Chains A and B, each alone.
Chain A
Amino acid sequence: MLEIKNVHKAFGDNQVLKGVSLKVEKGDVVAILGPSGSGKTTFLRSINFLEKADKGEIIFDDIQADLAHATKKTISLIRKKTGFVFQNYNLFNNKTALENVTEGLIIARKIPKKEAIEIGKRALDKVGLSDRYDYYPSQLSGGQQQRVGIARAIAANPDVILFDEPTSALDPELIGEVLQVMKELAKEGTTMVVVTHEMGFAQNVANHVVFMEGGIVVEEGTPKEIFSHPKEERTKQFLRRVVGYEDYSI
């Protein structure tokens, strides 16, 4: 369904991505793990052109495009086929929760307003915010804001939803509510690519795990392969570190 090939990206002299590829099938939940600075967020952002790759190719159903030289029209097409959930939520500050969800539907997708409001309410109900339609982002907790962010991403029924560390900015006690929503989406067969530090999510919800470090994919496979039988020494080291940290926190 979605294939990204050989993505390269440098910020100045800093080569962040050195040929990263990823294949996503319909219904996949892909978790991308790795230490900070490994390029996982940059890779995710280059899929919908928030970051312009220096080199790379994307094949998305019948669309085929060069990540470095895509036309405005192709970019817009791919963006409409993807949802994006940000680390810092990035809700529109001047819009209510419901307006945040309906904005893209009404303005970009030209869905009639009445219908869009119905869709928007359903999306917010789904993330457990049926009593927060008319609240502004500043009136919501971080967890609630992120759930609006997810509702905004799923409302247009995109083919894939990209999550950029969706729980990293949250207080620990609010992480659960967001992960719960994501777990439910996964259960319904939503195609998701998730950059995350939540090992539990990667292990229990994802069906494909990618470990990145230093701008390359070090190892990928099923959660079982990665967590129980990692082949690469770097993967082992990383897991020892993060799992060790979790043990310590418990």
Chain B
Amino acid sequence: MLDITVIWKTLGRLATRVPYTITIAFVSILISTALAILLSMIKIKKVKIASALVELYLSFFRSTPGLIHILLVYYGLPLVLKPFGIILDASGKDLYSIAALSLSYAANLSEILRPAYLSIDKGQHEAALCAGLSGFQKEYRIILPQVIPIALPAMGNAFIELIKDTSILFVIGLTDIMGSAKNIITNGLGINKVEIYIAAGLIYLVITTVGNWGNHFLEIKCQKVKKHQ
């Protein structure tokens, strides 16, 4: 039989790790979005050499599992940076986590942003230029306001996936929700495993449910804006 009191007690303990987990997810969302904008711009503008590198980056990160990205970043990044005189130790696990999630999701997000951008009619660009707008003004005032409502719902879904993916960061020893669930199990010598995983699952359920509500609300908003467009 399941021990409900263990689930209840564990929920309380794991809930204290929620702010930390959300912070890691949130910072990763910001960085991956910024990186995705850069990546998709390089591909859209067909920047020489850079776009070939971006292509390589995308095909690697989009066709390998997130777990590999995390392990490669954790073990690989110090090796890559060492020749440049930057010595990383293994303690900043949150930084490795953010780096891994950002690199991984930038690839996904850029493949949402790029088609959304390309779906805007060429005539919108031309009309903006004819009105005398500069390239930057054109993007900022005319094109992006039309791209965002197209891209946002899919991006929201990706953000929710990212939050769920924080649960594999325990492999490098991050004490987020999943990591501390693991710790509780180890400290308890492996008893009540099921109850503890259920508690962890419930916490993720609450977070993603809130996220889905938010996304649903966003989708309705975007639909309203798109109706004009």
Contacts and interface: CB of A to CB of B under 8 A. Distances in A.
Contacts of A90: 121, 123-124, 126-127
Contacts of B141: 103, 107
A108 B121 contact: no
B142 A94 contact: yes
Contacts of A137: 228
Nearest to A138: B228
Contacts of B146: 93-94
Interface string B100-128: 00000000000000000000010110111
B124, B134, B141: residue with the most chain A Cβ atoms closer than 10 Å: B141
A139 B123 CA distance: 19
A156 B132 contact: yes
Given A90-B123, A92-B124, A138-B227, A84 B137 contact: no
Contacts of B229: 93-94, 136, 138
B133 interface: yes
Interface in B126-181: 126-134, 137, 141-142, 145-146
Nearest to A48: B130
B142 A92 contact: yes
A108 B145 contact: no
Given A92-B142, A94-B229, A138-B228, A108 B127 contact: no
Contacts of A84: 126-127, 130
Given A93-B229, A138-B229, A86 B137 contact: no
Interface string B186-229: 00000000000000000000000000000000000000010111
Interface in A27-85: 48, 50, 76, 79-80, 82-84
A108 B136 CA distance: 11
Nearest to B145: A94
A107 B227 CA distance: 25
A208 interface: no
A212 interface: no
Interface residues of B, number: 21
Given A86-B127, A93-B124, A107 B133 contact: yes
Given A86-B126, A90-B123, A90-B124, A80 B132 contact: yes
A28 B134 CA distance: 29
Contacts of B227: 138
A108 B126 contact: no
Contacts of A86: 123, 126-127
A92 B127 contact: yes
Nearest to A75: B129
B132 A88 contact: no
A239 B159 CA distance: 61
Contacts of B121: 90
Most chain A CB within 10 A, of B128, B131, B137, B142, is at: B131
Contact of A103 (B126, B131, B134): B131
A104 interface: yes
Nearest to A135: B228
Nearest to A80: B132
Contacts of B134: 76, 108
Given A104-B133, A108-B137, A88 B123 contact: yes
Nearest to B122: A90
In order of increasing CB-CB distance, the 9 nearest A-B pairs are A108-B132, A104-B131, A90-B123, A93-B229, A90-B127, A136-B228, A84-B130, A94-B145, A80-B132
Given A94-B142, A108-B133, 16 more contacts: A50-B129, A79-B130, A84-B130, A90-B121, A90-B123, A90-B127, A92-B128, A93-B229, A103-B141, A103-B142, A104-B131, A104-B132, A107-B132, A136-B228, A139-B228, A153-B130
22 contacts: A50-B126, A76-B134, A80-B132, A84-B126, A86-B123, A86-B126, A88-B123, A90-B121, A90-B123, A90-B124, A93-B146, A93-B229, A94-B228, A95-B142, A103-B131, A103-B133, A103-B142, A104-B133, A107-B137, A107-B141, A108-B131, A138-B228
